Structure 1
Amino acid sequence: MKALRVGLPLVLLALGFLREIASVDRNNFKSCEQSSFCRRLRRTEPDVSKFEILPGTLQTYKQYILLDLQHSETKHLYVLKLSAVRGGIFHFQVDEKSPLSERYRVVDALAGEPEYVPIKVQSSSASAITVSTEDGTSKAVVNVSPFRIDFYKDALLVVSANSKGLMRFEHLRRKETSSAPAENEEQEAQENENQEVAKDPGTWEENFKSHHDSKPKGPEALSMDFSFPQGKVLYGIPEHADSFVLKQTVSGKGDPYRLYNLDVFEYELDNGMALYGAVPVIYGTGPSATAGVFWQNAAETWVDIFAPDQETNVMSSIVNFVSRSSQDDPPAANFISESGIIDVFVFAEPSPLDAFRHYTDLTGKAPLPQLYAIAYHQCRWNYNDEQDVTSVSAKFDEHDIPMDTMWLDIEYTDSKKYFTWDHHKFPHPLEMIRNLTEHGRHLTIIIDPHIKRDGNYFFHNDCTDRGYYVKNKDGNDYEGWCWPGAASYADFFNPEVRKYYADQYLLENFKESTKEVGIWNDMNEPSVFNGPEITMLKDNIHYGGWEHRDVHNLYGHMHILSTYEGLVRRGEGNLRPFILTRSHFAGSQRYAAVWTGDNMADWGHMQASIKMCLSLSVAGISFCGADVGGFFGNPDSELFYRWYQIGAFQPFFRSHAHIDTKRREPWLYPEDVKLIIRDAIRKRYRLLPLWYTMFYEHERSGLPIMRPMLAQYPSDVKSYALDTQFMLSDKLLVAPVLKTGQTKVDVYFPTNKNGESDYWYDADDNSKHASAGYHSVSVDSYKVPVYQRGGTIVPHKDRIRRAATLMKDDPYTLVVALDKDGHSKGTLYIDDETSFEYRHGKYMYIELEFKNNVLSSKKIDETASYATKTWLERVILVGLSKQPKSATLYLLHGESTELNVYAENNAFIVRKPGVSMVDSWSLKLNY
């Protein structure tokens, strides 16, 4: 959210006096070579693994097997546990057999305990042990020596673990103070390993700039490589400002991708630097299968990618991927983590979408947000006072631009103390909030995890008195610097702390709030201005005695978990919370939306928003967006309106800006620019029924809302490297304008599994495109190339009001786009748009189908019901070969009505069928 300038006096920095815009300083962040464990383990060359299964150690249980694993030189023992989860997912863990102390295991990423199923040992020999799932469709073959696990789906090898022999596991040990002569070969091998490890100067303690890491447990890093034999490309492991398809990092190609949640402002593009979130899931896709690997580890992690070289030019990338010889090594990834255990889920399916579903089966789906949360949000650092908030809201009405949420950044608080207000600037916060609510709008406020160390601040006093803060290595409350100045950090790994923090959101405690107020959790990597890499010391101590190094990437996740629990209780269990977070981990989608952080007002960062949200979406985080216009800098008119046109088609749609930027509300730009922005926002509101249905279906299926082209067209390898266009569900193809002065956009229309093109209909003029390959589309300032796929039905609401909340009972329009067979299907979801009552059957989920010249509507879930007042206003039929003479509307109880059909804009329209959306009905075209 905020910029900081390293090198200025810390007091000025932490007090928020800094208002300069600064670019990222790479010197503040480690490279792999500056990270002791990455440097050590990355030196491992692909070779025959030094790990082997010990003969005769197989133990079989109903749902898992155990095997002893030994390092062939040191003879140190480990235990392999291999099990299966329903759906053909394999889960394996490797840990020391007798560690000096317990090693950390992630317990908060999964949505719940996986549903483990019986596995069967098919065969066991001196060379390999084969286990399979009950249905026999998935199997794992454990190679004894050298150790390797090959995973198969329907007899197809999809993932091979440790095939490159890059597995390392630094067992816990005591620091040697003297070197006594070795008494046997095993002791000598152990000493040799200790000496080899000790050659690295950062093994037992490490310095970075002025910061010292005491490393009380010494070296404890681990690694394992995974090959994807069916894969043409690898993707995933967000968050990085890089291409969607992962680039090669080995053979002198630079650092591995880094997963370590950090506060990086004005981040660089096209590299694997760590950013605000870390989701350690990776996929390999090819025409025959998609496989996924979820590396469940919350410590700092680096991921090396073995893949074909690719140019930055997308077309060159496509050529590279298509021309790969089958003799080449398959793409592979090597995960290197600082601590913890090897804890891995492996899954594969013929289609990418099924693989994505497996991952969200494990880590959870985003709950359906309130409708207002997927509409347009207006934010900046900072709206100055109550009058400013009221004025901006009124200006949206004056200029007839819809808007649902006003946001307040840190300046609304009393001296950066959260759960308080600055009563000089905001003397009547409840009145201000109610004024927005009466206009159908909402307020979202920021609450960060750093707590001001102020003896007059109740939160600080409570945390101090109750021992709720994260501790330093000496057991005292950790103190760092952030926006309030001296600050400490609540230890959200402590259940008691989480409850206390959640309690603060209750209206009995935060009295100057309402149950409708949304929450913005920022700076939760955690950001510490005077800490190493602008974050917390690794040897700090959390609840349970775990070091911060073990749980770093989970800290923000636990923060939003606490907020979510508080908002659910604030709403008495019935009102859906809205939370936005910057830091995130696997499973964070269960609690909050995510935005891509402190971007810049330039075309490159606008382009990056697509790539970053695609990577997050396939990693389970569908509710994603970027700061429209760029957080830093002042966008020119063209960049500004083009960014709105992109934001309108991304799941989270918010404009946001740095405190030093010029005010940039839409009406402050020239009139012609304002009207283009207005048009983009109104397009978003028109499509809110589609968005709402997609979010509901995401909660049901776990499938991403915003999808890469390969998700829908895995048989078309030319679509794999595309990250300049995307799909919304399986319905809309969006190919926005991404360069200044562009008058044409080259849109790629993929081939389907039959080797043909689908039908595509321009969303503006309904013109049909029916051939695969690139097609040059002319664009003007208003034009965004958006195409509806033939065979789909898209719902609209065409009466645009000041806020989405006021459109609740407005009528629907259905756009029916026909495929080559004259057929189309779609869905529509309706509920009260605010509460959890839909989880108790109070909703309408409708299937819409056009077949044999009849459009029909029927309930999908017969037991569900919701008394909506909405009705059908229009049906737009796209792709008919000739105009019907009329249409007959049939209701379930036998009534029928004759309706006229009109030709307009390359489509045929049935106006005002007037039928309630509650009813089942059919509409027959007459020729």
Structure 2
Amino acid sequence: MMPRLHRSITSGLLIIWILSLTVYGGPLQADSSLDRIDCLPGGVEYGEDACLRKGCVWDPNVSNGIPHCFVPKKGYGYKVASAKLEYGRSFSVELERIAVDKSLYGGDYDRITFEVTYISNEILRFKLRDMENKRFQVPVQEKFELLNDLPEISTLAYKIDFNETIGEQFSFAIRRHYDNTILWDTSIGGLTFADQFLQIATYLPTENIYGFGENVHESFRHNMQYKTWALFSRDEPPSNGNINLYGVHPFYTCLENNGKSHGVLLLNSNAMDYTLLPAPALSYRAIGGILDFFVFVGETPEDVIFHYTSLIGRPVMPPYWALGFQISRYGYNNIGSMMAAVERTKNNNIPLDVQHADIDHMNNEKDFTWDEDNFPDLDKYMEREKEKGMHFIIILDPALVANDSSYEPYFEGLSRKVYITWPEDIPEEDRDYPPNVDTSTGIMFGKVWPPGPVAFPDFFKKETQEWWVEQIVKYYNNGLKFDGIWIDMNEPANFGTNHDIPWYCHDKENPGVCWSLHCPINKYDDPPYKTYAAYAYGKDVRLSDKTVCLAGTQGNNDMYRHYDVHSIYAWGQVIATLEAAHRATGQRSIVITRNTYPSFGQWAGHWLGDNFSRWVDLHRSIIGMLEFNLFGIPYVGADICGFFDVPSPEMCKRWQQLGAFYPFSRNHNGLNNPEQDPGAFGDEVAIPARRALEIRYRLLPYIYTLFYFSSLLGSTVVRPVFHEFPTDKNTFGIDRQFLWGPAVLISPVLEEGQTVVKAYLPNDVWYNYKTGQKETEVGKEIQITDLEDPPIHIRGGFILPAQDPGLNTAESRKNPMSLLVYLKDGQAVGDLFWDDGVSVGKKKS
């Protein structure tokens, strides 16, 4: 075996380190069934003949999800053609395809480039792209902040090994510098770079893998038994199965065996899959763009998030009032029911800061309008309540109705060419237009909530962002004086795509009156590999299901296909919406978005979507909350008591107790469901909700301080227990407990009829928050039977800033403050960040 070379290039000096001879390039596991890269994912083609045609290996004698057809490790992929070494912080290697007579999905590139760039001490970037660099690359990196100059090579936290021998099969390994732990090892094989199919795989150092999203994961630590998940934004409620939801986050963290941690981001916005293998290993499949990876090497799990957010941008600092309790409902239907919900909450002395207005407050679901028949004097009501310390958040959807001649926002956008259009390479006769619209504009119309065809703003155009800001500011000045904005349906969602009789069509005998968008057959809407984002819903489902046609064009000079930018549709929207909210209100505001992607946390928070009133969703909400803190979006929460279905009083009680500790704490309800704000159930829910929220409001100065450090350093607000105890293996799988920062441990009730909570207390000093007593049993699981309030423990050695609670934050901020001191070895420390809570910009303490 050839010795492995580690090439490190900096400051005009080429350094070659000769490493000791090691076994490298073969499987790390003796059992070859643990690391198979599936050659026939999706089941569209299957069987031995299909397998062999692709040049893969067939094994009929396996079960339990192990692939029968898999990519061979040797003789497939790319070999080294030449190494182009440049002085400085990067180098590149040219690669040549090995098996030119076989192809998984066609369109393979015969020559590609492997590029490595040392971004910082702790961040390594590597790319695999075609030689001519004409392919789509994710534009969000234009907003990545420039990092520091590269320091001396000896201080790098990583090193990269590869075989430079011409003609040898190419693979590489990334190691942690000081102990040689292998973080990535592509000798598992499967490397593919084709026009519409990219694949790469790696061995992993442990099974402690966290992150990836947005999916409904049943556990925070991933299941490694050949589990495949889709990443492609979709209007899909968080239900069951390995389906893809509203956002896309190709980022994971790994906790190594010694407690060190690292993270990896694949910067790709095309539809993709990721599969976790028991080796342990990981494979990716994407249908466009390039393979553009960032590796973040940290000392601790929190270090990794610090480095990750240093690249994608630090989280937004919410206004103080946005940390208060919030209520909402799709289906108030009139101002009386909205006012009644607010009064019920106040009359039960339940702290309340924010009332939301969903689309039922609009005039025919049209943005920048309100229904003055059913919501008369809504503007005056908002003004009166705001004088008492309340705040209001209104909803906006991206799609604008196009057949209302009196609707100015649409026509202003039309004159400025702000909408997604059909591409020139789709002939006019193949484009699908609704009846009675002007087709000369080339706009791609769809159907969402408003009564008529809609157009979708193209937020990749600067002109569109400016138009969106102007519409919001104009509406604030002439309409409702909102405090924050909730942007929904921005995957983007479209109803009934490719369906002859969509679900909203009530005239089945005359389906022509229920027009829905049909996408013509083309390479973008019908790629050779559709990814699990399509075939999870049926073998005939297309990627454009529930959205606009992927062939659509976007950006200045039609520079993008929707195929490439679909999952980052709302990127420009979140930026423009926060700017508009700041400009309109003159204060710090908050934006809550459904579609998310890496970097969105700089401008917006997120709610976990249209969940269900089921006990399992309480547990799932903790997992989602922990994941979005990894993703750099700490202002997150689930709809308390569930959006769909009807919660029992017991469920709503326990959910209110849990939801009091969501960073974004909102009770939200679906159309036609009974009222479920905590006051609607009587004392059975109202009293425990009040008690839990009083704890939250008492600790708001602590939470606010956590958000300040998050905005400054990127740290998590809600964090997994292992982030504070990374060498305690008992914490690695905990996802029924969570921490607020480093000091507050919450162990909620999550099951029907539960009378005992089993809570793990890591080996440290812990105090029972309710009694103030020090726990005598630590480093083990304890049983808690006092469940009147959510079980909370405070870690010794910390001082928590606190304040007497009020009925809203305007009142509580006038109340006396205190310090809650929890000693460890006679000492304790703490932090407090305090400002007026609403000024725009970050303030230094």
Q: TM class, shorter-chain normalised?
A: 0.7 to 0.9
Question: 2-side partners of 1:778 and 1:59: how far apart?
Answer: 61
Bigger CA drift: 386-395 or 415-424?
Answer: 386-395
What secondary structure does 2:215 align onto?
Answer: coil
TM-score normalised by length of structure 1: 0.73
Distance 1:495 1:53, change over 3 A: farther
Tell me which residue corresponds to 2:112: 78
Note if contact 2:270-2:564 (Cα within 8 Å) is conserved in structure 1: yes
Question: 1-side partners of 2:691 and 2:378: how far apart?
Answer: 32
Tell me which residue corresponds to 1:522: 488
**Structure 1 residue 51: Cα displacement:** 4.1
Tell me which residue corresponds to 1:196: none
1:875-909 CA deviation, whole Å, 9 max, x = no partner?
A: xxxxxxxxxxxxxxxxxxxxxxxxxxxxxxxxxxx
Tell me which residue corresponds to 1:18: none
Question: 2-side partners of 1:465 and 1:35: how far apart?
Answer: 45
Distance 1:36 1:292, change over 3 A: farther
1:557-614 CA deviation, whole Å, 9 max, x = no partner?
A: 3321221222233245xx2121111111111111111111111111001111001111
Question: 1-side partners of 2:129 and 2:751: how far apart?
Answer: 50
> Aligned match of 1:635 in 626, 647, 666?
647
Structure 2 alignment gaps of length 5 or more: 1-39, 57-66, 101-108, 429-441, 498-543
Question: 1-side partners of 2:830 and 2:610: how far apart?
Answer: 37
User: Does 2:197 match 1:221?
Assistant: yes
Tell me which residue corresponds to 1:409: 358
What secondary structure does 2:545 align onto?
Answer: helix
Question: 2-side partners of 1:744 and 1:86: how far apart?
Answer: 48
Question: 1-side partners of 2:463 and 2:841: how far apart?
Answer: 29
Note if contact 1:763-1:786 (Cα within 8 Å) is conserved in structure 2: yes
- Residue type matched to 1:778 in 2? I
What secondary structure does 1:559 align onto?
Answer: helix
Distance 1:87 1:510, change over 3 A: farther
Distance 1:154 1:401, change over 3 A: same
Tell me which residue corresponds to 1:463: 413
> Aligned match of 2:806 in 801, 804, 828?
801
User: Does 2:282 match 1:333?
Assistant: yes
Question: 2-side partners of 1:745 and 1:713: how far apart?
Answer: 21
- Residue type matched to 2:198 in 1? L
Question: 2-side partners of 1:278 and 1:36: how far apart?
Answer: 27
Question: 1-side partners of 2:332 and 2:839: how far apart?
Answer: 29
Note if contact 1:63-1:117 (Cα within 8 Å) is conserved in structure 2: no
**Structure 1 residue 517: Cα displacement:** 2.1
What secondary structure does 1:277 align onto?
Answer: strand
> Aligned match of 1:487 in 426, 429, 454?
454
- Residue type matched to 1:522 in 2? D
> Aligned match of 2:815 in 794, 807, 810?
810
What secondary structure does 1:58 align onto?
Answer: strand
1:90-145 CA deviation, whole Å, 9 max, x = no partner?
A: 0111111136xx2111121575244264488xxxxxxxxxxxx4634422223333
**Structure 1 residue 772: Cα displacement:** 3.5
User: Does 2:211 match 1:236?
Assistant: yes
**Structure 1 residue 50: Cα displacement:** 3.5
Question: 2-side partners of 1:508 and 1:615: how far apart?
Answer: 35
Question: 1-side partners of 2:684 and 2:370: how far apart?
Answer: 38
- Residue type matched to 1:296 in 2? L
Question: 2-side partners of 1:49 and 1:239: how far apart?
Answer: 35
Question: 2-side partners of 1:435 and 1:44: how far apart?
Answer: 66
Structure 1 alignment gaps of length 5 or more: 1-30, 121-132, 173-219, 308-328, 751-756, 846-927
Distance 1:35 1:686, change over 3 A: farther
Question: 2-side partners of 1:660 and 1:34: how far apart?
Answer: 39
User: Does 2:577 match 1:563?
Assistant: yes
- Residue type matched to 1:142 in 2? F
**Structure 1 residue 781: Cα displacement:** 4.9
User: Does 2:139 match 1:107?
Assistant: yes
Note if contact 1:627-1:654 (Cα within 8 Å) is conserved in structure 2: yes
Matches within 5 A, 1:714-725: 714-725=726-737
Tell me which residue corresponds to 1:157: 181
Question: 2-side partners of 1:349 and 1:68: how far apart?
Answer: 30
What secondary structure does 2:749 align onto?
Answer: coil
Note if contact 2:213-2:250 (Cα within 8 Å) is conserved in structure 1: yes
Question: 1-side partners of 2:800 and 2:546: how far apart?
Answer: 46
Question: 2-side partners of 1:690 and 1:808: how far apart?
Answer: 13
> Aligned match of 1:823 in 812, 820, 827?
827
Tell me which residue corresponds to 1:550: 564
- Residue type matched to 2:254 in 1? G
> Aligned match of 1:67 in 86, 93, 103?
93
Tell me which residue corresponds to 2:60: none
- Residue type matched to 2:202 in 1? F
- Residue type matched to 2:419 in 1? Y
- Residue type matched to 1:59 in 2? L
> Aligned match of 2:190 in 159, 166, 188?
166
Question: 2-side partners of 1:766 and 1:597: how far apart?
Answer: 37
Tell me which residue corresponds to 1:653: 665
User: Does 2:270 match 1:290?
Assistant: no
Bigger CA drift: 161-170 or 782-791?
Answer: 161-170
Note if contact 1:452-1:488 (Cα within 8 Å) is conserved in structure 2: yes
Note if contact 2:81-2:95 (Cα within 8 Å) is conserved in structure 1: no
1:325-346 CA deviation, whole Å, 9 max, x = no partner?
A: xxxx4x2211111100011001
Between the aligned residues of both structures, percent identity stands at 26
Question: 2-side partners of 1:110 and 1:603: how far apart?
Answer: 42
Tell me which residue corresponds to 1:139: 159
Note if contact 1:49-1:164 (Cα within 8 Å) is conserved in structure 2: no
Tell me which residue corresponds to 1:426: 375
Note if contact 2:553-2:562 (Cα within 8 Å) is conserved in structure 1: yes
> Aligned match of 1:48 in 50, 56, 74?
74
Tell me which residue corresponds to 1:668: 680
Matches within 5 A, 1:401-800: 401-454=350-403, 455-473=405-423, 474=426, 476-484=442-450, 485-507=452-474, 511-514=478-481, 516-531=482-497, 532-543=544-555, 544-572=558-586, 575-750=587-762, 757-798=763-804, 800=805
Aligned length: 709
Distance 1:35 1:698, change over 3 A: farther
Matches within 5 A, 1:330-409: 331-409=280-358
> Aligned match of 1:148 in 158, 162, 171?
171
Distance 1:510 1:162, change over 3 A: farther
Question: 2-side partners of 1:116 and 1:167: how far apart?
Answer: 32
Tell me which residue corresponds to 2:506: none
Note if contact 1:507-1:513 (Cα within 8 Å) is conserved in structure 2: no
What secondary structure does 1:605 align onto?
Answer: helix
Question: 2-side partners of 1:546 and 1:650: how far apart?
Answer: 37
Tell me which residue corresponds to 2:231: 259
Matches within 5 A, 1:192-231: 220-229=196-205, 231=206
**Structure 1 residue 249: Cα displacement:** 4.7
Note if contact 2:476-2:584 (Cα within 8 Å) is conserved in structure 1: no
Question: 1-side partners of 2:486 and 2:475: how far apart?
Answer: 20
Note if contact 1:472-1:541 (Cα within 8 Å) is conserved in structure 2: yes
**Structure 1 residue 645: Cα displacement:** 0.7
Question: 2-side partners of 1:246 and 1:143: how far apart?
Answer: 32
Tell me which residue corresponds to 1:245: 221
Bigger CA drift: 775-784 or 482-491?
Answer: 775-784
The root-mean-square deviation of aligned C-alpha atoms, in Å, is 2.4
- Residue type matched to 2:346 in 1? D
Distance 1:46 1:638, change over 3 A: farther
Tell me which residue corresponds to 2:23: none
Question: 1-side partners of 2:188 and 2:343: how far apart?
Answer: 62
Distance 1:838 1:33, change over 3 A: closer
**Structure 1 residue 429: Cα displacement:** 3.4
